[in-house]
Amino acid sequence: MFQPITNDQLIAVANEFGTPVYVYHAEKIADQYQKLTNAFKAHPTRFFYACKALTNINILKYLKSLGASLDCVSIHEVNLGLMAGFLPEQILFTPNCVDFNEIIDATVLGVRINIDNISILEQFGNRFGSEYPVCIRINPHIVAGGNYKISTGHIDSKFGISIHQLRHIERIVKTTKLNVEGLHMHTGSEIKDIDVFLQGLDIMFGIASNFKELDYIDLGSGFKVAYKEDDRETDVAALGARVADAATKFEKEYNRKLEIWFEPGKYLVSECGSFVVKVNVIKQTTATVFAGVNSGFNHLIRPMFYDSYHRISNITNPNGPQRIYTVAGNICETDTFAWDRVINEVREGDYLVFHNAGAYGFEMSSNFNSRLKPAEVMIENGEARLIRHADKFGDLLRNQVV
Ligand SMILES: *Cc1c(COP(=O)(O)O)cnc(C)c1O
């Protein structure tokens, strides 16, 4: 049975490694991975961890050990994946607006390629013909996702080849004899409604009959996790049953086995992550009580970037009376993590935890304000180990010409 991480464990990590610090709980990743594989066991399904969410090589190795494959969006992620021990066959490269040379580099490494643009498809076909299989990323124009910034399927999106260009895709495939092994779609992040996936799957089946030798249909991601107490995550069990059903039916019509692939990022690593900060100051203004912490949007940009909600708890005063705070960072720009949040009384020196900080947390951090990036720690089997050192002052100067 999965045991969540305790406040005492987090406090011990903060005391040992300092704050701010990102802490990842390995068993929570395993728990999420298990939920997915259980949900989809009725049909051959593969999960490609979308590693842009969190690329620490220890996390990559851990996901490899669970049996996951890997979805990469840059050649450097591909190289990290290979270093972590993934086989080229287990890596899907899904770039967008990259130089054609980066795609050629990926073919040299032997990984799977997902192409999302007519111009690149044509260049790829002219160069490789039937020699190197490809997957084609389709934009089915389904509008889905938590908000506009994380929705990718809409008409103005730069992602994928529009389904209305299917005839053009077919022309290129026919003329260059491209070997199309898979079709892909990824309509956005945080999709609550499983019908969106099924609608997408239906559209993909509709196109599949134009390609006779597909091995898989990749439905991307969009699995939502719970951010607030009363939030619900995507019902993967219900989705799994319906996808398996639809896929098994379609295989008969298509006369060929078809795997279903997904690319979860957030679903696998969001909840495993706790970001622990220390309260530097309590500042009372006429209207607000600010809790000012030793971090900022340079370490966790999601609230300022797309209004994401992170639950916050005071782990050093968990039974204190509840009061209302605005939690702010130390960056010289508007830098608010949360407005009007009910938290157990916060005192200077307390440790606060931002929950759901595993995905797009450390990964989007920067050195803005010449601040140092935090350390990363992984807790596995009850043991905490450092998996990235915090920056030191010298790191700020590393590539500067002085
Ligand atoms: C970002 C991304 C994902 C992962 O999205 P999550 O919301 O983190 O699950 C999957 N596939 C592609 C192509 C992506 O760009």
pLDDT of 241 above 60: yes
pLDDT of 246 above 90: yes
pLDDT of 14 above 70: yes
Asked if residue 140 and residue 256 are part of one domain, the reply reads yes
Q: Based on the residue annotation, tell me whether 51 is a catalytic residue of this protein.
A: no
Nearest ligand 1 atom, CA 152: 15
Mean pLDDT in residue range 128-137: 98
Return the CATH number at 102.
3.20.20.10
Contact (Cβ atoms closer than 8 angstroms) between residue 314 and residue 350: yes
**Helices and strands of the chain, counted as H and E runs:** 12, 18
Domain final residue pick, 265, 289, 321: 265
pLDDT of 220 above 70: yes
Asked if residue 116 and residue 240 are part of one domain, the reply reads yes
The string over 75-86, giving b where at least 16 C-beta atoms fall within 10 Å of a residue's C-beta and e elsewhere, is bebbbbbbebeb
Q: Domain limits at 87?
A: 40-265
Ligand 1 binding pocket mutation candidate from 71, 137, 158 (most atoms within 8 A of CB): 71
Asked if residue 343 and residue 204 are part of one domain, the reply reads no
What is the predicted pLDDT for the residue at 17?
Answer: 98
Domain-embedded: residue 12: no
Contact (Cβ atoms closer than 8 angstroms) between residue 362 and residue 22: yes
Asked if residue 289 and residue 204 are part of one domain, the reply reads no
Q: Quick: pLDDT tens for 230-240.
A: 898 999 999 99
**What is the chain's mean pLDDT, rounded?**
95
42 Cα–ligand 1 center, Å? 24
Percent residues over pLDDT 90 in the chain: 90
What residues have CB less than 8 Å from 366, skipping those under 6 apart? Answer: 298, 301, 373
Asked if residue 261 and residue 277 are part of one domain, the reply reads no
Cβ–ligand 1 contact at 239 (below 6 Å): no
| Peptide bond just before 88 cis, omega within 30 deg | no
Cβ–ligand 1 contact at 223 (below 6 Å): yes
Name the domain count of the chain. Answer: 2
pLDDT of 153 above 80: no
Identified catalytic residue from 51, 72, 272, 332? 332
Mean pLDDT in residue range 213-241: 93
Return the CATH number at 389.
2.40.37.10
Mean pLDDT in residue range 79-85: 98
80 Cα–ligand 1 center, Å? 17
R_g of the chain, CA atoms, integer Å:
23
Q: Look at ligand 1, atom 6, and give the residue with the nearest C-alpha.
A: 265
263 Cα–ligand 1 center, Å? 6
Q: Quick: pLDDT tens for 283-334.
A: 999 999 999 999 999 999 999 999 999 999 999 999 999 999 999 999 999 9
Q: Quick: pLDDT tens for 332-386.
A: 999 999 999 999 999 999 999 999 999 999 999 999 999 999 999 999 999 999 9
Cβ–ligand 1 contact at 70 (below 6 Å): no
34 Cα–ligand 1 center, Å? 19
Ligand 1 binding pocket mutation candidate from 93, 150, 191, 221 (most atoms within 8 A of CB): 221
Domain final residue pick, 214, 234, 265: 265
> What's the helix, strand, coil split of the chain in %, to 5?
35, 25, 40
Indicate the pLDDT class of residue 144, thresholds 50, 70 and 90: low
What is the predicted pLDDT for the residue at 53?
Answer: 98
364 Cα–ligand 1 center, Å? 14
Cβ–ligand 1 contact at 267 (below 6 Å): yes
Ligand 1 binding pocket mutation candidate from 52, 187, 192 (most atoms within 8 A of CB): 52
**Taking the alpha carbons of 112, 117, 121, 127 in that order, is the dihedral positive or negative?**
negative
Asked if residue 284 and residue 253 are part of one domain, the reply reads no
Q: What are the C-alpha distances in Å from 71 to residues 74, 169, 175, 354, 355? A: 10, 23, 29, 26, 25
Cβ–ligand 1 contact at 384 (below 6 Å): no
Q: Quick: pLDDT tens for 161-176.
A: 999 999 999 999 999 9
Nearest ligand 1 atom, CA 190: 7
Domain final residue pick, 202, 236, 265: 265
Cβ–ligand 1 contact at 146 (below 6 Å): no
